[in-house]
Structure 1
Amino acid sequence: MAEKTKAKFEAKTDDEKYLHAEKLLKAIDCLTRDKERAEIYEYVANIYKELGEYKDAKEKYEECDKKAKEHKKLAAEHKDTNPKVEEDEKKSSGIVGKIILVIIGILVVAVIAVFVYTRTTPGKYARASYYQKTGNYQKAYKMFRTLGGYKDSEAKLAKTELGVIKKAKVGANVLYGGYHWLILEKKDDKVMLVKSEPINGFAYNDKNEDVTWETCSLRKYLNGEFLEETFTKEMRGTILDTDITVSDNDLYGTKGGNSTTDKIFLLNSIQAEKKYNDILANYLRDCWLIDPGSKQNTAMFMSYGKIMKYGYEVTNTNMHIRPAVWISIK
């Protein structure tokens, strides 16, 4: 009986084997004869034995093996006192076999149904939610990214990414919104991020004129189009307002302009060269800084780790940007 059962059902994973064994144990109550019960207990015991240290398989193997031996003994005693037992068993074996086949059929159908469901949008959502709940943020992130606006996937995606950022250390590379970011600083319940890879082709200002950070077109772009396209609504809700003060150029005396309050900004020369220099080791391309250059129509930039205080003309588009942002991780 056990060999027939095994031929009809070949579980592939430990989860499937374990579930198969559990279902068969429940079905044993339907059997009335000790011989059939002994065979099923023996078959199930072998499954648990194969599973080794998986979950409580070791304990269940010992329990099933014990019950198989008990029912074998009872079956033998029953035959000694009742010579018609063998004949009765032959008559009932066909019925028992059909019951086992029905149970296996139900299990196979259930496995197929689960397999199909997990590949539907609701199934992916359920799996992603489970991964998020159990702290498997990497798998949760990948699934939520494919679900788009389904239900509250965007909100859960933001929560998943924040979960990763909370656990990550300063200097780590993390995902948030449409880009990878480096963690520059953690302070209380907030984190400062800077774009990992510089983005090419941005002018500081779209016109060659006297300008400051307050009035430049790059500030308008970062806090408008860039903010909207990079982060979902839920993610934008975590981005903090940051008070920005731009210092005058200490070498040329060029004015930094009025202070601003922004969500997205650029690093200043002190942050890039001193405060976060160790983290920004890959700052190897010409990138705009927020400070003014030698003239009011220029802005500082960083080139291969060095601050260029004389700056470039603000309309130069052969430059890169590395947006920075403070986010709440409450």
Structure 2
Amino acid sequence: MKCSHCGKENQEQFAYCVYCGTELEKVNALSDQPDDHQQSAQEYAEPKKKHSKRNKILLPIFLVFGISALLIVTWIFVISPWVQYRSGIEKMEQAEYDRAFQIFSDLGEYKDSRDKREQCEVEICRNAVIGDEIPFGSYEQDNNLDNGSETIFWKVLSVEEDRILVVSCHALERSAYHESYMEVTWASCMLRSWLNQVFLKTAFTETEREHIMVSTLPDTGTDDQIFLLSLDEAATLLGEGARVQAEASDFAIAQGVPVNEDHYCWWWLRTAGRSNYYAVNVVSEGGINQDGDGVDDTRNGVRPAMWIMVP
């Protein structure tokens, strides 16, 4: 048996090296055992190799997904809006204002899309003819308060050299003519005040409000930007039957406007009824109720009207 210390050969029966005194079995036993540190290193190296191999496989996959996600985000928030914006500009240059209006509306606050949208509104008004339904302003209509207000569409009733008369296509709100049952005229009623204060500021931007004329109403002598049609205006400009009928918006219905099976509702005119305790209204079937409803009746819808300047 060779001594691991001095390298001399010894007989196997000796427990100690006869030359240097080193315990033979202990040394050889230790020499046969793997070093604890070396064994731990080997045990650590095996899973590390497997982990490294797995990383080599997963890394390209993660890179592909990461790059794909980056491209998708870039397309949605950078490239696609820019492409749509350029398309809107081209439509304006081609005088396709209806299409351009829709594009800039969809773009929301991207760049100057809101300004472009308002420019399109004015151009659409300028080119409007009687009977057109045109966009101008916005108001809650679908009764989904989470998605913001919706574009208001207006029916063109009269076209003059530098202005057009419009009335909302739908009844946009539910309201009484006045807050209590009493003698009242258009000049002093609650609904006039609401239209020219709350509705005006809610439905239109500052730029849009600049295009809404202050009109002196011939039958009342009041100066209003927003008003209700009179009995004569409704009869002359709309007529009766289907032409004078109005659907209520989903929001107005949710506020309590009763509708028939076709969604048509009753809606107010500004003219007094059989007395100043009443105001004339249009019924859902398309007729005009000249006796009117009590001014405190809350079941009627509201169709705002206005003159828009188109210089």
With the shorter chain as reference, the TM-score category is: 0.5 to 0.7
Alignment-mate amino acid for residue 163 of structure 1? E
Rounded Cα–Cα distance in structure 2 between residues aligned with 1:291 and 1:317: 17
Larger fraction in helix: 1
> Shift of residue 164 of structure 1?
2.2
RMSD: 2.5
Specify the SS of the correspondent of 2:227. Answer: coil
Of all paired residues, the percent bearing the same amino acid is: 27
> Shift of residue 151 of structure 1?
4.4
Question: Who is 2:160 aligned against?
Answer: 187
Question: Who is 2:122 aligned against?
Answer: 162
**Alignment of 1:275 onto 2:255:** no
Match for 2:305 among 324, 327, 330? 324
Rounded Cα–Cα distance in structure 1 between residues aligned with 2:111 and 2:102: 16
| 2:157 and 2:237 in contact (8 A); partners too | no
Question: Who is 1:299 aligned against?
Answer: 279
Q: How many residue pairs get matched?
A: 206
| 1:197 and 1:322 in contact (8 A); partners too | yes
Q: Which structure is higher in RCO with an 8 Å CA cutoff and minimum separation 6?
A: 2
Specify the SS of the correspondent of 1:218. Answer: helix
**Alignment of 1:231 onto 2:212:** no
Specify the SS of the correspondent of 1:191. Answer: strand
Distance 1:295 1:126, change over 3 A: same
Deviations 1:160-186 (A, max 9, x none): 122223333211112111211101010
Question: Who is 2:53 aligned against?
Answer: none
Q: Which runs of 5+ in 2 are unaligned?
A: 1-73, 139-151, 247-263
**Alignment of 1:133 onto 2:96:** no
- Once the two structures are superposed, the pairs formed by residues 1-330 of structure 1 within 5 Å of their partners are 117-120=78-81, 122-178=82-138, 179-246=152-219, 259-277=221-239, 280-283=243-246, 285-303=265-283, 304-330=285-311
Alignment-mate amino acid for residue 281 of structure 2? F
| 2:245 and 2:282 in contact (8 A); partners too | no
| 1:272 and 1:280 in contact (8 A); partners too | no
Specify the SS of the correspondent of 2:270. Answer: strand
Deviations 1:191-219 (A, max 9, x none): 11111112352110112222111111111
Distance 1:139 1:114, change over 3 A: farther
Rounded Cα–Cα distance in structure 1 between residues aligned with 2:210 and 2:270: 24
Rounded Cα–Cα distance in structure 2 between residues aligned with 1:245 and 1:158: 30
| 2:213 and 2:309 in contact (8 A); partners too | yes
Deviations 1:241-295 (A, max 9, x none): 110133xxxxxxxxxxx52100111111111113332793434532111111122
Rounded Cα–Cα distance in structure 2 between residues aligned with 1:277 and 1:159: 32
> Shift of residue 225 of structure 1?
1.3
Distance 1:114 1:203, change over 3 A: closer
Rounded Cα–Cα distance in structure 1 between residues aligned with 2:245 and 2:297: 22
Q: Which runs of 5+ in 1 are unaligned?
A: 1-112, 247-257
| 2:244 and 2:282 in contact (8 A); partners too | no
| 2:238 and 2:244 in contact (8 A); partners too | no
Distance 1:232 1:150, change over 3 A: farther
Q: TM-score, normalised on structure 2? A: 0.60
Distance 1:240 1:116, change over 3 A: closer
Specify the SS of the correspondent of 2:186. Answer: coil
> Shift of residue 142 of structure 1?
2.0
Alignment-mate amino acid for residue 208 of structure 1? Y
Alignment-mate amino acid for residue 231 of structure 2? S
Rounded Cα–Cα distance in structure 1 between residues aligned with 2:137 and 2:130: 19
Alignment-mate amino acid for residue 213 of structure 2? L
Alignment-mate amino acid for residue 190 of structure 1? R
Alignment-mate amino acid for residue 125 of structure 2? I
Deviations 1:92-121 (A, max 9, x none): xxxxxxxxxxxxxxxxxxxxx99985414x
> Shift of residue 139 of structure 1?
3.1
Distance 1:138 1:245, change over 3 A: closer
